[in-house]
Amino acid sequence: MIAKRTTFLLFLLIFFNFLYSQQRKAKSFEDIRKEYEQYEENDINAFQYVDQYISKAKKEKNYSKLVQGYKDGVFYSSSNENKLAYADSTIGAANLSEDNELISMAYLGKGIVYYFNYKRYQLALNEYLQAYQYSKTIKDEYLKHKIIYHLGVVKSYLGYYEDALIHFKECADYFSSEIREKKLHPNMVFNNKKGYFNSLHQMVECYLDLNDYRKSDSLIDIGLKNTVGIKDFSQEESYFLKCKGISCYYKKEYKNAIRFLNQSLPRMLKNNNFAWASVNYFYIGKSYQGLENEEMAIGNFKKVDSIFQKYHFIHPEIRKNYEALVSYYKKQRDVGQELYYTKQLLKADSIITQDFSYLSSKIHKEYDTGVLYDEKKKLERQTLWSTNIIYGLIALMIVLMILLIIKYSRERNIHRKYILLEEKIRKNQMDNRGAITEGEFQFPKERKSKIDDDKVQNILEKLEQFEEKKQFNQKGLTLTKLALKLGTNANYLSQVINEYKGSNFNKYLGELRINYITQQIYNNKTYLNYTIESYAEECGIASRQNFSDLFYEINGVRPKDFIKNRKRELDN
């Protein structure tokens, strides 16, 4: 009797297990996704269902669903390596689908992993550009604007803040308009809100870097008003709190800066957002410096170093973290620590310049690499003083003499170039084009162009008015735009400028702008207190770096050196 009952129970168990397995197999993709959608990002418990979703898609060769499954794999993976592996699988599945929309989305996803989880900007940019190429033929505006957003992130990181702002403003406008669309699914409303808040955050970052605190504070208030206390947007709230803290720091409201920055940290640390966390620690340290609490400042600067050691990434914005540590231990006469942080600074410079060769001039500006290497050698020699003090002192004297000679030679060379430029300004002033010249302009004896004389004369007269009214300072001016303004065509205008102004359009426009601002700086004391960004803005040049490079190309000196020498001259 007992044996029969046991057999019957075993049969029921097998039967119900069979029914349950059949029920699992019959589940739709939507049913399976509902099982794990409630899990938070990076929660590997979701994989008991994600794996089912992927297996079903593979078995049915449903590549669009397979792309979705691998995307979910990226989202719920807890390690960066797994996220990258799933991102690669997403691209493979998307290519099998031959759907440009899916392929574009897959490349974008891999780029985001490189950007958010690794901070490998070069690799991220490669993926973004692939995504952009495939997005040209698709109709999904949301996806297109996600790509535009991430390209803007790269531009912002490179220091092209004004160019990046164009991206972020376009994205903010699009996402905010979509939020108001009544027909959208709740998930898409949520995605567009995230896109909007992230676009606002990046705009704030650009305005902070451009020292436009009025605009940055206005956007911070909007961001916090819409994210504070909302669980789904806690990450975005942490970004706005960070920006609020940085803004307070620049206003010297150090206690408020520390409060807001500390409030933003927990979510960043939970998401392993080490890049922004390091920015937080840096500005907390700077705020404690402002409060003259050196111990707390150094403690936070060291946290930045800990992140750098672990991830080998440092944002150019917080490079000064190491300068502060080097300076502190130099005052403490702690040679070992000073040497360590000097080496870390050199390592940081090396990593930054690998991504941004053009940034080397900025790096050298405040802490010349050559001086750093000499200082490193000097510090290494100092550690051997216990065995050979005399040789160490001699070596130190040699290093100091070399540094003084280098410094003197550099300053003398800059001053010599300044004198030459000043002589030209005083002797020649500006001709009707605003350029510094050695004599009156002579018309060419042999004309290359076949343009009618009256047309040439008309264009030259209009160019003269253009120069006199300083219209060359208009931002975004191109040959085509100027031709339209003068009532002619670009081909005629280009020929006249080449033949009668002696240069191509870009060089002609650049000289007008640079020579105009050079005169203003030289003749007007007020201009000596402006920032380089302000000079670039006034004469219509897109960025600080472009302005500085063009100023140097035309005048032979950097704007900061020209201003420094002019101030010294006026003081004397």
Q: What angle in degrees, to the nearest 10, is found between the helix axes of 505-523 and 559-571?
A: 20
The pLDDT score that the predictor gives to residue 379 is: 57
DSSP letter (8 states) at residue 32: H
Among 547, 542, 543, 546, residue whose Cα is nearest residue 563: 547
Average pLDDT score over residue span 108-128 = 83
Which residue, chain included where needed, has tokens 């920006």? 243
The answer, yes or no, to whether residue 432 has pLDDT greater than 60, is no
Residue 95, CB half-sphere, CA atoms under 13 Å: how many? 8
pLDDT of residue 445: 52
Lowest mean pLDDT among 2-16, 27-41, 404-418, 489-503: 2-16
Residue 3 confidence (pLDDT) above 50 = yes
Which residues make Cβ contacts (< 8 Å) with residue 377, sequence separation at least 6? 399
Tell me which of 1.10.287.130, 1.25.40.10, 1.10.287.950, 1.10.3720.10 is the CATH number of domain 231-311. 1.25.40.10
The token duo for 174 is: 């699009």
> What secondary structure, in 3-state letters, does 205-254 show?
HHHHHCCCHHHHHHHHHHHHHHHCCCHHHHHHHHHHHHHHHHHHHHCCCH
The domain 32-135: what is its CATH number?
1.25.40
Confidence of residue 244 (pLDDT cuts 50, 70, 90): very high
The pLDDT value recorded for residue 398 is: 67
Is the pLDDT confidence value at 368 over 50?
Answer: no
Q: Inform me whether the pLDDT recorded for 438 exceeds 50.
A: no
Torsional sign, CA 345, 270, 192, 259? negative
| Amino acid identity at 304 | V
C-alpha 97/C-alpha 450 separation (Å) is 57
Is residue 2 predicted with pLDDT exceeding 80?
no
Are residues 254 and 285 in contact, defined by beta-carbon separation less than 8 angstroms? no
DSSP structural state of residue 113: I
275: left (phi over 0), alpha (psi -120 to 50) or beta: alpha
Closest CA to 261 of 297, 225, 230, 295: 297
pLDDT tens per residue across span 49-100: 899 999 998 998 999 989 999 999 999 998 989 999 999 999 999 999 999 9
Cα-Cα-Cα-Cα dihedral sign, residues 341, 342, 345, 350: negative
CB 313 within 8 A of CB 351: yes
Contacts within 8 Å (CB) and 24+ apart, 431-439: 432/464, 432/467, 432/468, 433/467, 433/501, 433/508, 433/511, 433/512, 434/467, 434/470, 434/472, 434/511, 434/512, 434/515, 434/516, 434/519, 435/511, 435/512, 435/515, 436/515, 436/518
41 in Cβ contact with 76 (< 8 Å): yes
The three-point CA angle 171-172-178 to 5° equals: 90
pLDDT at residue 242 above 90?
yes
Total length of the chain? 572
Query: What is the rounded CA–CA span in Å between residue 434 and residue 417?
Result: 20
Residue that wins the pLDDT comparison between 71 and 125: 71
Distinct helix (H) and strand (E) counts, the chain: 27, 0
Query: For residues 256 and 248, what is the distance between their CA atoms, to the nearest angstrom?
Result: 6
Query: Do 49 and 27 contact (CB within 8 A), yes or no?
Result: no
Asked if pLDDT for residue 170 goes beyond 90, the answer is yes
- Residue 312: φ, ψ to 5°: 55, 40
- Angle of helix 389-428 relative to helix 505-523, nearest 10 degrees, comes to 100
As given in the structure block, the two tokens for residue 562 are 């020209």
Residue 121, classed as helix, strand or coil, is helix
**pLDDT attached to residue 1:** 53
Is 469 exposed, middle or buried (CB count within 10 Å of its CB: 0-12, 13-18, 19+)? exposed
- Provide the 8-state DSSP code for 316: G
Rounded Cα gap, residues 195 and 146, in angstroms: 8
pLDDT surpasses 80 at 420: no
Maximum Cα–Cα distance across the chain: 124
Closest residue by Cα to residue 350 from 505, 101, 342, 482: 342
- Higher-pLDDT residue of 299 and 157 is 299
pLDDT at residue number 319: 83
pLDDT > 90: percent of the chain? 34
Q: Determine whether 14 is exposed, middle or buried from the number of CB atoms within 10 Å of its CB (0-12, 13-18, 19+).
A: exposed
* Cα distance between residue 541 and residue 162, in whole Å: 11
For the segment 16-30, what is each residue's pLDDT rounded down to a tens digit?
Answer: 565 555 555 568 888
- pLDDT at res. 111: 87
* pLDDT value, residue 374: 42
Residue 394: pLDDT above 70? Answer: no
Distances, alpha carbon 412 to alpha carbons 371, 465, 555, in Å: 18, 40, 16
Span 488-503, mean pLDDT? 88
Cα separation of 472 and 464, whole Å? Answer: 11
* CA separation for the pair 209, 160 (Å, rounded): 10
Residue 505 has pLDDT above 80, yes or no: yes
The answer to whether 474 touches 540, Cβ cutoff 8 Å, is yes
Comparing CA positions, the residue from 110, 113, 86, 181 lying closest to residue 142 is 181
Query: Average pLDDT of 413-440?
Result: 60
CB 116, CB 97: distance < 8 Å: no
Residue 396 has pLDDT above 70, yes or no: no
Q: Kindly state the average pLDDT of the residues 412-439.
A: 62
pTM of the model: 0.56
Banded pLDDT at 359 (limits 50, 70, 90)? very low
Q: Which of 57, 75, 77, 78 is nearest to 66 (CA)?
A: 57
Q: In a 10 Å sphere around its CB, with 0-12 CB exposed, 13-18 middle and 19+ buried, how is residue 135 labelled?
A: buried
User: How many Å apart are CA 168 and CA 559, to the nearest integer?
Assistant: 30
Q: Which listed CATH number (2.60.120.10, 3.30.70.270, 1.10.10.60, 1.10.645.10) goes with 453-571?
A: 1.10.10.60
Mean pLDDT of 491-499: 89
Residue 430, pLDDT > 60, answer no
- For residue 117, the 8-state DSSP code is I
Distance from C-alpha of 535 to C-alpha of 353, rounded to nearest angstrom: 26
